[in-house]
Structure 1
């Protein structure tokens, strides 16, 4: 009997740009099964009880409390959601791991960072790259919270250029151990971890190598003082110094020279989970801001009645809705791809590695979009609170500071923007995504005579779907012309890549919101989705503006004369509405929903 996974077409990573996705084929938060809802609810209960109720402790650099709550999370099984049952984990699917990462991260960035560093880059490299002996020895301790992990990649001279690290690993004369020497910085969980994933270079190897290193101060490991940081105050962040630290050869992770690959694949997973970790942070800021706006009276009326406040709340909710839609769409794609590979005979390790790697473009898109939305959300949260928002007595101020690191983690947003476009071009060159055919078709369309017929947009989202198709043409027009003009030197034109990436991001995010709403409107009726429809239309309207601006910037930067004129005319055609939505009315609908319900209610 065919499974759900094989019955529907699962697009490859990046193919969303050139292939149409049916709304029935996307996963939404409304599709969560009973087990997933129970996992979500138990995670929220833990967060409300142990984290949100004590958020002030995290602002006072209470590292001990971070460690204490991490152990409690381990006792509940929350640290081992993604770990196979064989190694004392829960062995749940990728969507469930995203759910836990989402909801456990809402209360405080300090705990969110500790959790992400431990479950992701602290545990996952061993789960996915370790041999059986290594996994049996270390993973159960990490999955249960008996031990905590940390990840030592960044160095003073090796940040975004991760493979340029100077830390050395020297093989002993008897061939039984390596001695590791070097300096690592910005190491999350360093103050209380039991195990490091350390990357070092053997001799003059081109690529670094990964090692599993137990944290033993008597073995040449020393820690710097806790870093003084803008936010995430109770996340232990220290430098780690290795001075002839002896590591058994059997603690090499994967193969010699495979460390850069491990690091990059860990970042792919880390990026989509970082996006998930910014979701509930937005919901909680929206809820706090809504409550305050209903209670705060100025000029004899609650400030939620003012149009300026309504507009802010509407945009905050709209971005959160699009973020949820895109994150869980991609998460289910990854889960389905993993299942397909396992069904084809891949091991769980191989299937998960390749499943996530397939959607590396989407992971970078999500990391950028959601990290910037959570920053904007917390910023507007402060604004709604006014002077009280600037006070450390309310959680708005700490939410804003904690959100700031998300644009730097897991590769800066600038790096991820360029990666998204670069990876898409490479996929096209490998034949995994057909960009040439659609780009050529767009070029021919630009030279043709446009239709002046009035289209029939009577069905729900008929015009919105057409606009998204046209936004995809904008990307193909800009990127196709840029590749043709610059070829392999395209990566040197960073400002162009950044602008093209913003177009790509808006296409994916807007389409994800639309597909989610369309699917639920078909299932539950349009009347039940009035606010969701408003959020979808508002997000797309704003996306069109961003695309138009970025595309114009790109075209002017590399095209001249008739070529520029034709492309700018095409851009105007591709970003034109037939029936412009009433944006003020949409914002009122969204903010009224928040006011009536007293909270953001769209998370399934």
Structure 2
């Protein structure tokens, strides 16, 4: 069994075992209960007030957030020692997924519980935790995260907001501005980044009532209209020295670690929205008639529903696999006492940072998978999908921001291979050794194995996808050396190869785990069918990406030799994906919701 502790990124060089991952089929009764509580809150409190929330009713949003806090829905990530319930990451992920159907309200909650509260959970002093966390956990106070500035978005360290120590040494005086701040209109506590003496990037806990602090007007957005998004202004805002979060000059450690978990939680929200879209589209397809038949009876509409379900299955498999990895590193964090809880926060941040690669991959795949799913959802609705009365129209608009939030997908694609190489350079990952060993392997004959066991062909394809990534990555390093960092198109190819491979392996391991429990169950057979389709189509994407990279890295005979090696890596019998998708679609149409 692969040891996943503190070894993010190892999937590219190791074979994982099905029993080493967490899947939705492993949810405990306690974890499911949190999902049920969130679902009941949505049905009773949020759904009836949906239009008011979308109209950006501050008072209503705050009132509902406080009700959510009373139910424990805001304190899931806060340790019990500070008024929360300290749930595992699988539980909090399931919570985020379930609340996603509340649209803008889910964003308000996510910004509060995630990037707004977690900096204090992970990096706050015991005094800061005692002061702020109980109120944040029960909703008495709302949090916001303030990083982006007019001149610094992706380049977070280019921030111009400054902090200067007052003459009496009791306060830092903050000057500058922030933009696009979620929850700004009604938040009480703000995590603000500024440069001490114009140089040392540092995090501060700022309260709304501090003099010199002001909030600008609401932005008029394309989507997520029911969430507050405003600029902030700081004019000699006196922030007590005890409100410095973490160390002076080490704010980037906080910012980047918090973005990791923010990216991961965004993936969970995308998953919830994808599942809701499948419900809306399949239900509509079963009622809308054209040429005397419901449109769900037409194969092209059914194929769309199958594709939507398969993408969502892959996303779900990636997300809970990653949540399981993070939980595994947190089990020895010990939060029974206040001192232990303080230390546990730092360890939790470190544990999550180990899976920065996986968090970025989840963010990119999730945001793009949801865009594809909702695009097809609108298409199935036809002209009605363009009308506001149908929720798919709102989900379509709301989904677009996800590729920009928490670091653009372009930035995350740069981070994925870059972080992998850094781990290898630090000796945390024997990547280069594996690449060197592979070079001789690729020159040997590659006879196809027999594919007699269930999903054996898919397991072979995943193994070949890993080899392909290592071969392309090794060639890129050999050919470009230090210039690789500037060759963003090649880095993007490497990132996409990693994302596709992680997604392929995640669905494979999940289905293998299900089959090992019951090979004949309808659920296991459906999972196997989706895995077969997803891996075959992903492998076609892998081949296309590899050819793009090879054409950029090689010329003449060298290119032809590399293409011949690639051709050997891509060999495997083809499945009839049309027939498989018809089987999958039939179950989606019959149930009118996401199926597995």
Question: What TM bracket, shorter-length normalisation?
Answer: over 0.9
Which of 22, 31, 56 is 2:17 aligned to?
22
Stretches of structure 1 lacking an aligned partner (at least 5 in a row): 1-5
Question: Residues 127-206 of structure 1: matches in 2 within 5 Å?
Answer: 127-205=121-199
Counterpart in 1 of 2:202? Answer: 209
Per the TM alignment, residue 62 of structure 1 is displaced from its structure 2 partner at its CA by: 3.2
Stretches of structure 2 lacking an aligned partner (at least 5 in a row): none
Counterpart in 1 of 2:99? Answer: 104
Counterpart in 2 of 1:329? Answer: 321
Q: 2: CA distance between counterparts of 1:598 and 1:434?
A: 46
Counterpart in 2 of 1:67? Answer: 62
What SS is found at the alignment partner of 1:208? Answer: strand
Query: CA 1:227–1:70 in 2, change beyond 3 Å: closer, same or farther?
Result: same
Counterpart in 2 of 1:548? Answer: 543
Q: 1: CA distance between counterparts of 2:341 and 2:390?
A: 53
What SS is found at the alignment partner of 1:427? Answer: helix
Which of 288, 308, 313 is 1:296 aligned to?
288
For structure 1, which segment, 16-25 or 524-533, has the greater mean C-alpha deviation from structure 2 after superposition?
524-533
Which of 390, 395, 405 is 1:394 aligned to?
390
Per the TM alignment, residue 94 of structure 1 is displaced from its structure 2 partner at its CA by: 1.3
Counterpart in 1 of 2:510? Answer: 516
What SS is found at the alignment partner of 1:240? Answer: strand
Q: 2: CA distance between counterparts of 1:51 and 1:324?
A: 24
For structure 1, which segment, 526-535 or 225-234, has the greater mean C-alpha deviation from structure 2 after superposition?
526-535
Question: Is the contact made by 1:232 and 1:401 (CA closer than 8 Å) also made in structure 2?
Answer: yes
In the alignment, structure 1 residue 353 sits paired with structure 2 residue 343: no
Per the TM alignment, residue 447 of structure 1 is displaced from its structure 2 partner at its CA by: 2.4
Per the TM alignment, residue 73 of structure 1 is displaced from its structure 2 partner at its CA by: 1.1
Q: 2: CA distance between counterparts of 1:512 and 1:116?
A: 25
Q: 2: CA distance between counterparts of 1:536 and 1:202?
A: 52
Q: 2: CA distance between counterparts of 1:243 and 1:542?
A: 55
Per the TM alignment, residue 303 of structure 1 is displaced from its structure 2 partner at its CA by: 0.4
Q: TM-score, normalised by structure 1?
A: 0.95
Partner deviation per Cα, 1:477-534 (whole Å, 9 max, x = no partner)? 1111111222222110001111111110000011101111110111122443221111
Per the TM alignment, residue 342 of structure 1 is displaced from its structure 2 partner at its CA by: 5.2
Q: 1: CA distance between counterparts of 2:516 and 2:342?
A: 36
Per the TM alignment, residue 380 of structure 1 is displaced from its structure 2 partner at its CA by: 0.8
Question: Residues 309-324 of structure 1: matches in 2 within 5 Å?
Answer: 309-324=301-316
Which of 364, 367, 372 is 2:363 aligned to?
367
Query: CA 1:53–1:546 in 2, change beyond 3 Å: closer, same or farther?
Result: farther
Per the TM alignment, residue 565 of structure 1 is displaced from its structure 2 partner at its CA by: 1.4
For structure 1, which segment, 387-396 or 486-495, has the greater mean C-alpha deviation from structure 2 after superposition?
486-495
What SS is found at the alignment partner of 1:601? Answer: coil
Partner deviation per Cα, 1:159-215 (whole Å, 9 max, x = no partner)? 00001100010111111111101010000000000111111101142x410111110
What SS is found at the alignment partner of 1:68? Answer: helix
Counterpart in 2 of 1:3? Answer: none
Question: Is the contact made by 1:134 and 1:251 (CA closer than 8 Å) also made in structure 2?
Answer: yes
What SS is found at the alignment partner of 2:442? Answer: helix
Question: Is the contact made by 1:342 and 1:348 (CA closer than 8 Å) also made in structure 2?
Answer: yes
For structure 1, which segment, 7-16 or 540-549, has the greater mean C-alpha deviation from structure 2 after superposition?
7-16
Per the TM alignment, residue 561 of structure 1 is displaced from its structure 2 partner at its CA by: 2.3
Q: How many residues align?
A: 591
Question: Is the contact made by 2:9 and 2:420 (CA closer than 8 Å) also made in structure 1?
Answer: yes
Partner deviation per Cα, 1:513-557 (whole Å, 9 max, x = no partner)? 111111011112244322111111111112111111111111101
Per the TM alignment, residue 345 of structure 1 is displaced from its structure 2 partner at its CA by: 11
What SS is found at the alignment partner of 1:169? Answer: strand
Q: 2: CA distance between counterparts of 1:143 and 1:251?
A: 19
Q: 2: CA distance between counterparts of 1:417 and 1:48?
A: 37
Question: Is the contact made by 1:117 and 1:151 (CA closer than 8 Å) also made in structure 2?
Answer: yes
Per the TM alignment, residue 340 of structure 1 is displaced from its structure 2 partner at its CA by: 4.3
Question: Residues 372-387 of structure 1: matches in 2 within 5 Å?
Answer: 372-387=368-383
Q: 1: CA distance between counterparts of 2:195 and 2:5?
A: 39
Q: 2: CA distance between counterparts of 1:7 and 1:162?
A: 36
Q: 2: CA distance between counterparts of 1:524 and 1:92?
A: 30
Query: CA 1:473–1:8 in 2, change beyond 3 Å: closer, same or farther?
Result: closer
Q: 1: CA distance between counterparts of 2:268 and 2:373?
A: 15
Q: 2: CA distance between counterparts of 1:568 and 1:526?
A: 40
Which of 418, 423, 427 is 1:427 aligned to?
423
Question: Is the contact made by 2:213 and 2:234 (CA closer than 8 Å) also made in structure 1?
Answer: yes
Counterpart in 1 of 2:246? Answer: 254
Partner deviation per Cα, 1:412-447 (whole Å, 9 max, x = no partner)? 001001101100011111121111122123221332
Counterpart in 2 of 1:573? Answer: 568
Counterpart in 1 of 2:255? Answer: 263
What SS is found at the alignment partner of 2:100? Answer: coil
Question: Is the contact made by 1:179 and 1:245 (CA closer than 8 Å) also made in structure 2?
Answer: yes
For structure 1, which segment, 418-427 or 436-445, has the greater mean C-alpha deviation from structure 2 after superposition?
436-445
Per the TM alignment, residue 70 of structure 1 is displaced from its structure 2 partner at its CA by: 1.5
Per the TM alignment, residue 68 of structure 1 is displaced from its structure 2 partner at its CA by: 2.6
Per the TM alignment, residue 599 of structure 1 is displaced from its structure 2 partner at its CA by: 1.5
Counterpart in 1 of 2:270? Answer: 278
Partner deviation per Cα, 1:6-61 (whole Å, 9 max, x = no partner)? 99664710001111111011110010111001111111121233334443334333
Q: 2: CA distance between counterparts of 1:54 and 1:321?
A: 31
Per the TM alignment, residue 388 of structure 1 is displaced from its structure 2 partner at its CA by: 0.8
Partner deviation per Cα, 1:452-484 (whole Å, 9 max, x = no partner)? xx5211101111101100000110011111112
Counterpart in 2 of 1:83? Answer: 78
Q: 1: CA distance between counterparts of 2:55 and 2:355?
A: 39
Query: CA 1:570–1:494 in 2, change beyond 3 Å: closer, same or farther?
Result: same
Question: Is the contact made by 2:160 and 2:194 (CA closer than 8 Å) also made in structure 1?
Answer: yes
